[in-house]
């Protein structure tokens, strides 16, 4: 059920986004190009309204004497400095920023114009914020309250029944002692009377109740230790949607060890800082969450330097295989050429908090090993094995082999 909800919700979300995009695209073509160019070429060092590695760009055109000078400066600032020793503004900039040269940009005048146009009229950034805020508004499902309530109800019921039993037993005892027969009107006695009158109905009822409980119990027990959908709060509200989805950062940029070893690994803070040294405000929470990265890395955004104490981030682990299971990411990603999404879901669509997509049960692993064809061609390791398998399964007419056929269901492939 939850999966359907999610699908419908994400479908409707993307529908509205598409509509919005079509509406905007009509009149903002140039600024769009400028935005793209700005993000690709300038954003790592410049902000529009704030000093970053380089100066804030707002009002840039007013500060330069001529547009030609500005073009020349942007295209190659060191040449410009050499050729225009008299430009006091340019020389002053050079001095102000610790004599660091701005990287030469291979841009045409038209492209620079587009950027300048974008800088002069940056679009308001409210729209996406609202969208994500809506996303954040999703109630996070926490079952523990329901469990507690249910338990309390059961307990109350038990207490009630027990006190009734006690009460009637007492009265029975009193009756026996007094040898008087009182017409007791207790609930229990009435219930017993009803039961003795409707024996067949009672038996049928009991059977139904028992069967329902068994079935329910079976499913509850089966889910013990299965944390599909587990999405704990994290110390930083990191959204895969913003990074892997909107900004299309490759999974391997942060989780590079998935290609090398058994752990995909949570990236170390210095990987975050590769980009976030320049990006100090997020779309959703502004500077709040990114400031936590700076805190961890010991980065002082005012001075643009690592001056403070480093404090590692304590993420809450989501995917947690038991100790007796060996799993190697590189086996699946590099050799098996599996996409991350196969096991982790469409992560680029997941906002905060990240959740466990797959059940990670042995049955789930085994099913995939049964169905997934091994791409043996092009990997010399499998050449001999492939030939032998073709020979062995000739009679059965199997020509494509799944992981199962190369022993992927054997215990000691994962348990040792």
Name the site residues for another protein (rule: CB under 8 A). 147, 151, 224, 227, 230, 232, 257, 260-263, 265-271, 296-298, 310-317, 320, 322-324, 326, 328-331, 334-335, 378-385, 388-389, 391-392, 406-407, 410-413, 415-416
Q: Which of 154, 330, 141, 369 is nearest to 252 (CA)?
A: 330
CB 376 within 8 A of CB 407: no
The residue with tokens 């060092």 is 45
CB 379 within 8 A of CB 337: no
Phi/psi at 326 (nearest 5 deg)? -100, 125
DSSP state string for 31-43 = HHHHHHHIIIIIT
Give the Cα separation of 33 and 108 in Å (integer): 13
Question: Using omega within 30 degrees of 0 as the cis cutoff, is the peptide bond preceding 256 cis?
Answer: no
Give the Cα separation of 149 and 156 in Å (integer): 10
Give the Cα separation of 141 and 5 in Å (integer): 13
Paired with 306 in beta bridges are 299
Nearer to another protein, 4 or 381 (CB): 381
Give the Cα separation of 193 and 195 in Å (integer): 5
Give the Cα separation of 284 and 242 in Å (integer): 9
- Reading the block at residue 275, the tokens are 């980009």
CB 398 within 8 A of CB 405: yes
Sign of CA dihedral 154, 158, 161, 167: negative
Give the Cα separation of 316 and 341 in Å (integer): 21
Q: Where are the alpha helices (DSSP H) in 58-183?
A: 60-63, 67-75, 77-83, 88-96, 109-120, 126-136, 143-178
């Amino acid at each position: 059920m939850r999966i359907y909800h999610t699908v419908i919700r994400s479908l409707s979300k993307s529908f509205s986004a598409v509509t919005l995009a079509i509406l905007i695209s009509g009149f903002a073509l140039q600024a769009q190009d400028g935005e793209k160019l700005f993000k690709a070429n300038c954003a790592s060092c410049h902000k529009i309204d704030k000093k970053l590695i380089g100066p804030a760009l707002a009002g840039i055109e007013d500060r330069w004497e001529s547009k030609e000078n500005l073009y020349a400066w942007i295209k190659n600032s060191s040449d410009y400095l050499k050729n225009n020793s008299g430009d006091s503004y340019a020389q002053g900039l050079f001095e102000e920023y610790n004599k660091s040269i701005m990287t030469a940009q291979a841009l045409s005048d038209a492209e620079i114009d587009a950027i300048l146009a974008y800088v002069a009229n940056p679009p308001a950034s409210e729209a996406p914020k609202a969208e994500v805020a809506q996303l954040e508004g999703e109630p996070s499902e926490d079952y523990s309250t329901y469990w507690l309530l249910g338990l309390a109800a059961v307990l109350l019921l038990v207490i009630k029944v027990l006190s009734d039993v006690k009460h009637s037993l007492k009265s029975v005892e009193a009756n026996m002692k007094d040898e008087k027969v009182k017409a007791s009107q207790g609930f229990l006695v009435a219930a017993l009377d009803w039961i003795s009158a409707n024996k067949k109905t009672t038996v049928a009822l009991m059977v139904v109740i028992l069967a329902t409980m068994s079935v329910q119990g079976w499913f509850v027990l089966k889910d013990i230790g299965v944390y599909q959908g587990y999405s704990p709060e994290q110390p930083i509200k990191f959204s895969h949607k913003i990074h892997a989805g909107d900004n299309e950062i490759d999974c391997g940029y942060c989780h590079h060890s998935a290609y090398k070893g058994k752990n995909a690994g949570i990236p170390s803070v210095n990987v975050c800082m590769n980009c976030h040294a320049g990006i100090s405000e997020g779309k959703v929470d502004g500077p709040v969450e990114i400031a936590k990265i700076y805190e961890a890395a010991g980065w002082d955004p005012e001075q643009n330097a690592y001056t403070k104490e480093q404090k590692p981030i304590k993420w809450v682990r989501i995917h947690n295989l038991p100790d007796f299971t060996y799993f190697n990411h590189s086996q699946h990603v590099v050799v098996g050429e599996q996409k991350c999404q196969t096991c982790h879901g469409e992560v680029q669509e997941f906002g905060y908090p990240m959740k466990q997509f797959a059940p990670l049960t042995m049955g789930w692993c085994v099913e995939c090993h049964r169905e997934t064809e091994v791409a043996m061609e092009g990997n010399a390791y499998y050449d001999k094995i492939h030939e032998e398998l073709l020979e062995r399964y000739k009679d059965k007419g199997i020509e494509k082999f799944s992981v199962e056929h190369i022993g992927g269901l054997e215990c000691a492939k994962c348990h040792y």
